[in-house]
Structure 1
Amino acid sequence: MRIKNKLKYSLLALIASTTVSIQSCSIDVVPQDRYAEEAVWADPSTIELYVDGLYAEFKNFQFGLFPGLGYDNAMDALADIMKFTSTVPGNGTVNILISSSSQFSPSSVGLNYWSTGYTRIRRVNEFIEGVRTKSLLSDEEKVKYEAEARFIRAYTYFWLAKIHGSVIIQDDINTYNEKDKQRSSEEQVYDFMIQDLKYAAENLPVNALAGRANKGAAYALLSRVALYAGSIAQYDRKQFNSDPLTGITESRAREFYQIAADAAESVRSLNKYELDGNYASIFTNKNTKEAIFRVDFVYPSITHQYDYGYAPPRDNNGMTLVYGVPTAELVDEFEMEDGTKFSWTNPEHAANPYDKREPRFYATILYNGASWKGRTLNTTTSDQIEGFIQYGVEAEPKRTVTGYYAKKLLDPNNTNLLVNRSTQSWIELRYAEVYLNLAEAKAGLGDFAGSASVLSELRAKRGLGMVNYNNQSSAMAAIEHERMVELAFEGHRFWDLRRWRKAHIVLNGRRVTGHKIESTGGSYSYQVVDADNVDRSFNPRLYYLPIPESEVLVNLGLTQIQGW
């Protein structure tokens, strides 16, 4: 954690980075690469620049990115629904990380957000202090800005907590001490985030500019954070780490589930958001009412490269990067259109596996025979450009190693990927997740009828029938299925498996699979093949990843998480 004292001007570098030029008619000599501190707090437009810069934290995780890994969908590729195609460091770093738990250590954390996160936290705390004590804003404006800042701080702490559990709470710029800061307990960290988000939800407006937090965003994030706390309390039970600061008291599970349920209900009671009846359009329609909080892009100045990274090769004259592709595990999870489970042992299903599937399947997966941008996809072994290739045969195959491509999040109207790049929004908080959070929280509270009703309401919007269950086991089976399908490629699956303490069961000693499709005489055969060339590895101690060794060395009061 880098908390060394700095010159007062350095804390304002965030603003300077978002400003093209600074003009002044003062005869005083003012540094030209930064704002003078007094100028920041005296000018409301400069305060706006400052808070806009704080929101850049959400771009670190857009489209399933993780700082340091640098690739969209990296989070789902750590789980079982996305397979990265490369075998070499860089494009294939995720495959290296999942191949052995020994890839994670204090000297090589693997998922390292510590320095980045605490840099952001320091900036947020500086902003809160400045707004409170130095700005000329009205009391109402001060509260609103602090609410935004605390929303961003909670989001940043949430990532640190998901990785390490027990981290350092720092909420006052005046109490920084680089030599004796110890971790707070995981329970205290979640309480701190919940306190921040409750403040944000109470004080933010119902409506805000796109990309800025509002009341719905604060409640939605609160439902997510509290749900994580409740599930860790329920499922961890100090089984996987002996550090006294990790874990959450099991008896508090109901309390956290209630907070999550109440927050989710608060989002719904705003009557501002709606489940979209057209699932396929949600991720390219900037006006969808499912988007609670999103990151927007505008051509040509602010774009991304999601399409170039994930579209089938012929979308770009036979050459896209194809970082990752859907696994057979995800494909098989999608139901039939009548709500029955798909099964390869069902002769009718096996003969035509892509017929009569649920609407989310056709919006999420590009499969053999799918219509895409005016052509019919051929993912059989006979197509040397877009067809199946066994994982590991080529270091950088840049085509499918599972027989599928990811359709969800792609722009179907983008026909020149390198020139147009991509401008579809990243939806960080989506209304459907609120339904899923509420269903799980209700199940955690023992309200199985209420949980099933919420899940059925979501399924109805996806063209599927109701579900019923009356115990925790069947409730969680239904909820896990819906989260896996509904939230595919939105970065949730890996973290869900971790908070449910199922990652060591689902991911360890397993290989994800694909379907090798061959055409003979006009008919197709489907062979299940490994899409990994070694078993995956998830040691239970990975539920709490180590603090980077360099941070422990510079902070004399900080101890490493036990087990590392």
Structure 2
Amino acid sequence: MKAYLKTLKKSFLIAGAILAMSGCKIDIDPLDKYTDVAVYQNPVNIRLYIIGMYAEFGTFKFGTFPIGYDNATDALTDIMKYSSGVSGNGTVNILASDASRVSAAGPMLNYWTNGYIRIRRLNEFLEGLDTKAQGLDEATKLKFQAEARFIRGYVYFWLVKLHGSVILLDKLTSEKDKQRSSEDDCWNFIAADFAFAAEYLPKTWDSANTGRVTKGAAYGMLARTWLYAASIAEYDQKQFNSDPLTGVPTAKAIPYYTNASKAADEVKKLAGEGLYDLEANFASIFTNKNTKEAIFKIDFIRPQFTHQYDLGFAPPKDAPGQVLVYGVPTAELVNEFEMSDGSTFSWSNPTMAANPYVNREQRFNATILFNGSSWKGRTINTTPADAVEGITEYGASTDPKKTVSGYYAKKFLDPLNTEIVVNKSDQSWMELRYAEVLLIDAEAKSKINDITGAKTSLNTLRNKRGLPNTPSQTPAELMRAVEHERKVELAFEGHRYWDLRRWRKAHIVLNNVKFTGHKGAPNGASFTYTTVSVDNTDRQFTPALYYIPIPLDEILRNNAITQIKGW
């Protein structure tokens, strides 16, 4: 067996976070392969091998999925609209409005090949640790195993979110033909990987290894995994697919919600030790590299290791003629944010409608750029009167590079980066943050009738965001509150599409509907706003899409596997 290592550059110290190497470099010559002796009999190279595997965490950074150019899955939902209608910048719009684009021949939402390549490399590493590694004490070996199984669990988490039933490989095998495992077994396999990682990973690493996965990250991902499995058990109930290997037995919903709650409690214990916390200033979370909300994140550093988020999502005058304006917020998201006193915003309320962006909760002002927003020394004008940043009708231009909803996405943008073309972007991407863990806990506890525990987690988050306690009292009311909080708290972080899928609401919320924006017009000293469509055709989400088909080329090469029924 030969282990393959990708060339690592100093700026890409690890994809999970930039390793502070204290003067030690991990630059290596661009060699194609390393022998077993070079890797497993040298502890330094063993470390480099697993660091190379961290690249997988960059695949879905900032909520994107590898379709088109930086297309975000939130744009498949009711909270974001991509401005372009052409393949590439607007592939996500094509998929959102045409369910037939998903087929075994071209699933579009396809991670199968890349995911299994990564799984094989990780299984090679695990086998090498067991049979060839030298110079490692048992504790260090277990940490390496824990890291590898964390990454493998992460890869499988994405595969199972997509397909439900996939092929499980816990070790290297030459077997070419293998059938899919049941969805229930898949979720348990993922949970076992994260549970192992949680047992053997440290709470923190020393300064030379900052950014590697930790016990808190493993428990957080374990909580997320059990929440998904429990959701399928509760909401799917074999209503949408007759495949014998998809779905999770309904009877397992409560045990799995309980598991999610217990894993979240472990993260909360670590927060109690001072490792994690919520930030009082919501806007600062996403530009503060040292935020305690981050449980696991990818860090970037100029000039070697950057990204292009600002160029992709900033309003046009940040770099005239160069900003791309991929995705913009919808009215459906804007309307969801509460008033600062916790009351529900409504356009039917004359006072609120007269000044719709005044006295809104802090998350609104940190997430949305609206007509009248102060931004980088100017006032944003999204009315048609502004030829550069004003609203345009979706479809009037194939790639307008300006808002089609009357809003721009503010979350993640760096307000201090005034030269986004030259500087590019270096904001961190948080794969997992403490707010999500509290929302997982609130949801799970509401399902097991721990009303007090659910309210405690939910109110901890709301109070930190400057909002009063939730008025919810029953499990059903708490669940509605959790759905609302996830929609606004986690906006643009890549959760909404997958939430609607696991709650089995996507075929209701995302089907046969057009989403909207708001077009402003001057009215004396103020503005009036009319609702406009951001879609020129109805959205489509058919129940079959809850299980994306296995790619046809895998069906053709694997004589044992069967296609998911319905495809």
TM-score (norm 1): 0.95
Which residue identity does 1:149 align to in structure 2?
A
Cα distance in 2 between the residues matched to 1:210 and 1:424 = 17
Please, which of 499, 502, 505 is the counterpart of residue 499 of structure 1?
502
Displacement of 1:475:
1.5
Q: Which residue number in structure 2 is paired with residue 64 of structure 1?
A: 63
Q: Which residue number in structure 2 is paired with residue 534 of structure 1?
A: 537
Q: Which runs of 5+ in 1 are unaligned?
A: 1-7, 24-31
Q: Which residue number in structure 2 is paired with residue 12 of structure 1?
A: 4
Report if aligned partners of 2:123, 2:171 keep a CA contact under 8 Å in 1.
yes
Please, which of 552, 559, 562 is the counterpart of residue 559 of structure 1?
562
Q: Which residue number in structure 1 is paired with residue 47 of structure 2?
A: 48
Displacement of 1:473:
2.2
Cα distance in 1 between the residues matched to 2:322 and 2:279 = 33
Q: Within 5 Å, give how 1:470-481 maps onto structure 2.
A: 470-481=473-484
Q: Within 5 Å, give how 1:148-297 maps onto structure 2.
A: 148-173=147-172, 175-178=173-176, 180-208=177-205, 209-270=209-270, 271=273, 272-297=275-300
Worse-matched range after superposition: 371-380 or 317-326: 317-326
Cα distance in 2 between the residues matched to 1:455 and 1:113 = 33
Calculate percent identity across the aligned residue pairs.
Answer: 57
Report if aligned partners of 2:7, 2:28 keep a CA contact under 8 Å in 1.
no
Cα distance in 2 between the residues matched to 1:513 and 1:133 = 58
Question: Secondary structure in 2 aligned to 1:69?
Answer: coil
Report if aligned partners of 2:36, 2:132 keep a CA contact under 8 Å in 1.
no
Which residue identity does 1:121 align to in structure 2?
I
Displacement of 1:66:
1.0
Q: Which runs of 5+ in 2 are unaligned?
A: 13-25
Question: Secondary structure in 2 aligned to 1:112?
Answer: coil
2:118 maps to 1:126: no
Report if aligned partners of 2:516, 2:531 keep a CA contact under 8 Å in 1.
yes
Q: Which residue number in structure 1 is paired with residue 409 of structure 2?
A: 406
Q: Which residue number in structure 2 is paired with residue 324 of structure 1?
A: 327
Q: Specify whether residues 210 and 508 from structure 1 end up closer, same or farther in structure 2 by C-alpha distance, changes over 3 A only.
A: farther
Cα distance in 2 between the residues matched to 1:156 and 1:377 = 40
Question: Secondary structure in 1 aligned to 2:6?
Answer: helix
Residue deviations 1:491-524 (CA, integer Å, cap 9, x gap): 0000000000000010000111000111143331
Report if aligned partners of 1:449, 1:469 keep a CA contact under 8 Å in 2.
no
Residue deviations 1:184-224 (CA, integer Å, cap 9, x gap): 00000000011111110010000023431100000000010
Q: Which residue number in structure 2 is paired with residue 4 of structure 1?
A: none
* Stretches (4+) displaced over 3 A: 13-23
Which residue identity does 1:159 align to in structure 2?
W
Which residue identity does 1:64 align to in structure 2?
G
Q: Specify whether residues 257 and 396 from structure 1 end up closer, same or farther in structure 2 by C-alpha distance, changes over 3 A only.
A: same
Q: Which residue number in structure 1 is paired with residue 78 of structure 2?
A: 80
Cα distance in 1 between the residues matched to 2:515 and 2:413 = 23
Q: Within 5 Å, give how 1:315-394 maps onto structure 2.
A: 315-394=318-397
Report if aligned partners of 1:113, 1:160 keep a CA contact under 8 Å in 2.
yes
Q: Which residue number in structure 2 is paired with residue 97 of structure 1?
A: 95
Q: Specify whether residues 103 and 558 from structure 1 end up closer, same or farther in structure 2 by C-alpha distance, changes over 3 A only.
A: same
Q: Specify whether residues 33 and 96 from structure 1 end up closer, same or farther in structure 2 by C-alpha distance, changes over 3 A only.
A: same
Displacement of 1:15:
5.8
Q: Which residue number in structure 2 is paired with residue 138 of structure 1?
A: 137
Question: Secondary structure in 2 aligned to 1:518?
Answer: strand
Displacement of 1:470:
3.1
Residue deviations 1:366-414 (CA, integer Å, cap 9, x gap): 0000100011110111000001101110101100000000000000000
Report if aligned partners of 1:381, 1:388 keep a CA contact under 8 Å in 2.
yes
Displacement of 1:354:
0.3
Give the superposed CA RMSD: 1.4
Q: Within 5 Å, give how 1:453-468 maps onto structure 2.
A: 453-468=456-471
Which residue identity does 1:416 align to in structure 2?
E
Report if aligned partners of 1:15, 1:34 keep a CA contact under 8 Å in 2.
no
Cα distance in 2 between the residues matched to 1:307 and 1:524 = 28
Displacement of 1:20:
5.2
Q: Specify whether residues 400 and 113 from structure 1 end up closer, same or farther in structure 2 by C-alpha distance, changes over 3 A only.
A: same
Cα distance in 2 between the residues matched to 1:468 and 1:204 = 39
Cα distance in 2 between the residues matched to 1:403 and 1:213 = 40
Report if aligned partners of 1:210, 1:294 keep a CA contact under 8 Å in 2.
no
2:429 maps to 1:430: no
Displacement of 1:246:
0.1
Cα distance in 2 between the residues matched to 1:244 and 1:520 = 60
Cα distance in 2 between the residues matched to 1:140 and 1:293 = 22
Cα distance in 2 between the residues matched to 1:68 and 1:404 = 24
Cα distance in 2 between the residues matched to 1:326 and 1:335 = 16
Displacement of 1:450:
2.0
Which residue identity does 2:170 align to in structure 1?
D
Q: Which residue number in structure 2 is paired with residue 545 of structure 1?
A: 548
Report if aligned partners of 2:5, 2:49 keep a CA contact under 8 Å in 1.
no
Cα distance in 1 between the residues matched to 2:370 and 2:472 = 33
Question: Secondary structure in 2 aligned to 1:13?
Answer: coil
Which residue identity does 2:259 align to in structure 1?
I
Cα distance in 2 between the residues matched to 1:480 and 1:159 = 21
Cα distance in 1 between the residues matched to 2:145 and 2:325 = 41
TM-score (norm 2): 0.94
Displacement of 1:471:
2.6
Report if aligned partners of 1:100, 1:537 keep a CA contact under 8 Å in 2.
yes
Report if aligned partners of 2:67, 2:91 keep a CA contact under 8 Å in 1.
no
Cα distance in 1 between the residues matched to 2:346 and 2:67 = 38
Question: Secondary structure in 2 aligned to 1:223?
Answer: helix
Cα distance in 1 between the residues matched to 2:414 and 2:202 = 32
Which residue identity does 1:183 align to in structure 2?
R
Displacement of 1:48:
1.4
Displacement of 1:327:
0.4
Q: Which residue number in structure 1 is paired with residue 16 of structure 2?
A: none
Report if aligned partners of 1:164, 1:545 keep a CA contact under 8 Å in 2.
yes
Displacement of 1:59:
0.2
Report if aligned partners of 1:101, 1:538 keep a CA contact under 8 Å in 2.
yes
Which residue identity does 1:14 align to in structure 2?
K
Report if aligned partners of 2:68, 2:90 keep a CA contact under 8 Å in 1.
no
Displacement of 1:452:
1.7
Cα distance in 1 between the residues matched to 2:162 and 2:174 = 23
Which residue identity does 1:276 align to in structure 2?
E
Which residue identity does 2:492 align to in structure 1?
F
Question: Secondary structure in 2 aligned to 1:427?
Answer: strand
Report if aligned partners of 1:448, 1:469 keep a CA contact under 8 Å in 2.
no
Displacement of 1:49:
1.2
Report if aligned partners of 1:507, 1:536 keep a CA contact under 8 Å in 2.
yes
Displacement of 1:251:
0.4
Which residue identity does 2:199 align to in structure 1?
E
Please, which of 440, 443, 447 is the counterpart of residue 444 of structure 1?
447
